[in-house]
């Protein structure tokens, strides 16, 4: 009987601890990390954690239903396809693997970005009475090559597969050995939602952060674009 009571007490304590863990407010910097890791780093584990976090107050119907590994692979394939479309079909087919490796490495550097939170401030939501927004000011850093090989072919239609593959292999190595850092400063808004004593944080369009960082990364990726700065 004593053992049974001890078991019941242990189960009760465990349930209380789990309940407290579920109702404990998650700080905005941790919520931002979930969004960043999901949409910038293409992390499926972060995606699962983000969905677990937002489903109690936004509903399961508003969780994200995608596979970030597939999304990254599709982006690589699209960049590869667009690049090779400038070359004759036969040359493009022979250079497919090298082109895919280049864009996998290039986009891999993007998703390996690191960030530092400068500040988090609370401001009123102008579009909703009695609601606030947490503005996260963040610096995002990417690695890019300080130099990258310049194509020696003027006309993509008059190039051999070996020339193209050689160029791509050289460029891929330079990107893999990226030795320069570029930093973007962005503001990410987390809308506050109160439920009982807890405050939850969410963003309805996190893809915007991805788009802005994509634009910055590709604009500054080529060292030629930064001459004179």
pLDDT digits (tens, 9 = 90+) for 112-143: 999 999 999 999 998 888 889 999 999 999 99
**Nearest-10 crossing angle of helices 207-221, 96-111:** 120
The verdict on residue 10 lying in a domain is no
Flag whether pLDDT at 24 surpasses 60. no
15 is a domain residue: no
CA distance 99 to 84: 8
Six-digit token string for 166: 């050689």
Of 177, 175, 203, nearest to 191 (Cα)?
203
How does pLDDT run across 201-213, given as a tens digit for each residue? 999 999 999 999 9
| Per-residue b or e along 113-122, where b marks 16 or more CB atoms closer than 10 Å to that residue's CB | bebeeeebee
Calpha distance 192→196 (Å, rounded): 13
Segments forming the whole domain that contains residue 189: 29-226
Arithmetic mean of pLDDT over the chain: 89
Residue-wise pLDDT tens digits, 163-192: 999 999 999 999 999 999 999 999 999 999
Whether 14 has a pLDDT exceeding 50, the answer reads no
Q: Is residue 21 part of a domain?
A: no
Q: Which two tokens stand for residue 151?
A: 């194509």
Give residues with Cβ within 8 angstroms of 213, minimum separation 6: 40, 110, 113, 140, 184, 186
Sheet holding 114-124, edge to edge: 114-124, 132-144, 180-195, 198-202
**For the chain, what is the domain count?**
1
Model confidence at 12: pLDDT above 90: no
Instruction: At 107, list the tokens.
Output: 């986009």
What confidence tens digit (pLDDT) does each residue in 143-167 have?
999 999 988 777 888 899 999 999 9
C-alpha span between 193 and 125 (Å, rounded): 11
Task: Flag whether 54 is in a domain.
Answer: yes
Residue 195 lies in a domain: yes
pTM given for the model: 0.86
The answer to whether residue 8 is domain-embedded is no
Kindly state whether residue 12 falls inside one of the protein's structural domains.
no
- Mean of pLDDT values over 90-109: 98
pLDDT digits (tens, 9 = 90+) for 38-62: 999 999 999 999 999 999 999 999 9
Report residue 211 as tokens: 């788009």
What does the pLDDT read at residue 222? 81
């Amino acid at each position: 009987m004593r053992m049974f009571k001890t078991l019941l007490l242990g189960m009760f304590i465990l349930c209380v601890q789990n309940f407290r863990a579920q109702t404990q407010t998650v700080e905005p910097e941790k919520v931002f990390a979930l969004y960043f890791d999901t949409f910038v780093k293409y992390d499926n584990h972060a995606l699962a954690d983000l969905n677990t976090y937002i489903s109690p107050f936004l509903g399961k119907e508003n969780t994200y239903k995608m596979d970030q590994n597939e999304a990254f692979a599709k982006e690589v394939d699209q960049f590869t396809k667009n690049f090779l479309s400038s070359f004759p079909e036969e040359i493009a087919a022979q250079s497919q693997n090298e082109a895919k490796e280049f864009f996998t490495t290039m986009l891999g550097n993007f998703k390996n970005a690191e960030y530092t939170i400068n500040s988090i401030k609370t401001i009123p939501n102008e579009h909703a009475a009695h609601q606030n927004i947490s503005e996260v000011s963040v610096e995002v850093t990417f690695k890019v090559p300080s130099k990258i090989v310049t194509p020696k072919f003027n006309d993509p239609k008059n190039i051999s597969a070996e020339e193209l593959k050689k160029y791509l292999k050289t460029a891929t190595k330079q990107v893999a050995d990226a030795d320069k850092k570029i930093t973007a400063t962005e503001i990410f808004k987390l809308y506050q939602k109160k439920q009982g004593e807890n405050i939850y944080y969410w963003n309805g369009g996190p893809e915007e952060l991805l788009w802005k960082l994509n634009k910055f990364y590709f604009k500054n990726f080529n060292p030629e674009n930064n001459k004179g700065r």
